[in-house]
Amino acid sequence: MHHQIKSLLHFERDSQFTKRVLILSLPSAVLFLTLISLNLLSPAISLLCYAIIILFNMFSLFPISYELQSLRKYTYSLANEQTPDPQTMNLSEKDARELANAINSIHKFWKSQTDSLKIQTMSDAAVLDTLPDPILTLDSQGNITNCNQAARNFLGNDILSHNLDSYFSTNIFIASVTKVLKGKSRSESLIFHASEYNNRPIYAHITRLPWETQGRTTAVVSLNDISKALSLEKMQSDFVANASHELKTPLSVISGFIETLQTTARDDADARDTFLGIMKEQTEYMSALIEDLLSLSRLEMNRDKELKEKVDITEVIDDVVQALKIKAFNRSLDLTVREDKKIPKIIGDNQQIHQIVQNIIDNAIKYAQANSEVSIEIKNVAQIPSAPGQNIAAGKAVSIAVNNKGPKIDKADLARLTEKFYRMQVHKDMKIKGTGLGLSIAKQIILHHRGNLTVTSTSYNGTTFTVYLPVKQK
């Protein structure tokens, strides 16, 4: 009774309640009317009894109606993703309680299912975000339904629901996407140049999903910017072309002279001496070239080799200077070495560091103005100057500055000196021999040691190449 009074206080008008009470009381009304018409009961008593029945019906229907209302409210709030407390309902009817429990279990079951689905979707999205290439999903109309972080970085943050053709106008790409979306092809792969994105070459792969997703995602598009791979491929083929060309030139010179010696100059002793001299020079050039090519390939192979030797740079420089003394003397150059006190040993590859020093001092002697000074300065430095995009070791380092006098090298040439096979036109014109590989070999070794190479050139001071090598690798 107490519960019913409490319910009454919270009861909201149920539009169906009066109807239900009246329908339930209808058979009694019919019964009383029959009894009255048969004069078996007076109308006053009938009315009183009928009123009692109506009251009784109201009382017995009230809790059911109230609890139905509570259940309805409860279910609605669950549907609206609120989490009401089922205890607050105070259900007294057994059936209503069981119904509430059943609804609760269904709700719990679906909640756990949705939660695990949410977690799965989040981790799938996180996995997709770690991929470096843009990935997009499209609906059957070509609208973007989902994408990863790389796609947002590439095309913009608000790409969802936009059509793919608002980002790309390249016909062959859009045609391939349409073909897959219309079900005419299961998957398409192509390389196209994206005119909207600096004409970057892009490898695109479009796949139709194997299942129907009720008008949602139909196809997956992955885009891979292949400009780096293509430029690497071009560099490699340029390198092979250059190397072959460089080898072919002296070979054709030598074979030309052999032919002349076999025919027209057969009995000409003077010509023979001159030609043999040139042939010797050409073979020397060829073996220098082959030596440089072998150095490059060795460096390529040992790229991941751990550096662990203790190298005494001053000792290496002394060795190189000894070996190149005669060459300097022949050009009337004064070769001087100055060094800081206590130059530490560095961790690296002795033979490779020998090669850096050799190539750079050799250049200074070769390209210096005759009768001048070539100076080598070894110093301790606290830090290697940084260079964008290079992995340079932090901490103490040793610098080796090699200076030679001569005309100023202009900016455009300075930037290209370490390119493979690059030689300045002035030096080609002066017929100074060289393969154009020495500096690129030195640069590669320096990068391998996580050091740096800088060049400065002024008309007053000449040209200075400075090699920085870290004392420790870690």
Ligand X SMILES: Nc1ncnc2c1ncn2[C@@H]1O[C@H](COP(=O)(O)OP(=O)(O)OP(=O)(O)O)[C@@H](O)[C@H]1O
Binding site for ligand X (CB under 6 A): 292, 359, 363-364, 367, 404, 406, 409, 417, 422-424, 427, 434-440, 463
Q: How far is the CB of 323 from ligand X (least distance, A)?
A: 15
Residue 449 binds which one of ligand X, Mg ion, none, with CB within 5 to 8 A depending on kind? none
Residue 417 binds which one of Mg ion, ligand X, none, with CB within 5 to 8 A depending on kind? ligand X
Q: Which is closer to Mg ion, CB of 137 or CB of 418?
A: 418
Q: How far is the CB of 180 from ligand X (least distance, A)?
A: 50
Residue among 50, 47, 48, 11 nearest 27 (CA): 50
Q: Which is closer to ligand X, CB of 216 or CB of 427?
A: 427
438 binds Mg ion (CB under 5 A): yes
Q: How far is the CB of 435 from ligand X (least distance, A)?
A: 4
Place of tokens 């981790």: 123
Question: With CB under 5 A, what is the number of residues at the site for Mg ion?
Answer: 2
Stretch that binds Mg ion, among 132-140, 245-253, 270-278, 435-443 (CB under 5 A): 435-443
Q: Which is closer to Mg ion, CB of 438 or CB of 462?
A: 438
Tokens of 44: 């006053």
CA atoms lying within 13 Å on the CB side of residue 312: 5
Tokens of 129: 């975000």
Q: Which is closer to ligand X, CB of 167 or CB of 239?
A: 239
Residue 367 binds which one of ligand X, Mg ion, none, with CB within 5 to 8 A depending on kind? ligand X
Closest residue to Mg ion, judged by C-beta, is 438
Residue 406 binds which one of Mg ion, ligand X, none, with CB within 5 to 8 A depending on kind? ligand X
Q: How far is the CB of 278 from ligand X (least distance, A)?
A: 18
Please name the amino acid found at residue 330.
N
Q: Which is closer to Mg ion, CB of 295 or CB of 363?
A: 363
Q: Could you write out the DSSP letters of every residue in 263-278?
A: TTTTT-HHHHHHHHHH
Q: Which is closer to ligand X, CB of 219 or CB of 364?
A: 364
Q: Which is closer to ligand X, CB of 348 or CB of 438?
A: 438
Q: How far is the CB of 417 from ligand X (least distance, A)?
A: 4
Element (H or E) spanning 375, and its range? Answer: strand 373-381
Q: How far is the CB of 187 from Mg ion (least distance, A)?
A: 51
Q: Could you write out the DSSP letters of every residue in 171-190?
A: HHHHHHHHHHHTTS-SEEEE
Q: How far is the CB of 380 from ligand X (least distance, A)?
A: 24
363 binds Mg ion (CB under 5 A): yes
At residue 142, the 3 state secondary structure works out as coil
Query: How far apart are alpha carbons 41 and 185 in whole angstroms?
Result: 87
Q: Could you write out the DSSP letters of every residue in 324-361?
A: HHHHHHHTT-EEEEEE-SSPPPEEE-HHHHHHHHHHHH
CB 89 within 8 A of CB 103: no
Q: How far is CA 379 from CA 159, 407, 411, in A?
A: 55, 26, 26
Distance from the first to the final alpha carbon of the chain: 84
Tokens of 179: 């073909």
Distance of CA 143 to the CA centre of its chain: 24
Q: Which is closer to ligand X, CB of 209 or CB of 290?
A: 290
Q: How far is the CB of 361 from Mg ion (least distance, A)?
A: 10
* Chain residues that interact with Mg ion, rule: CB under 5 A: 363, 438
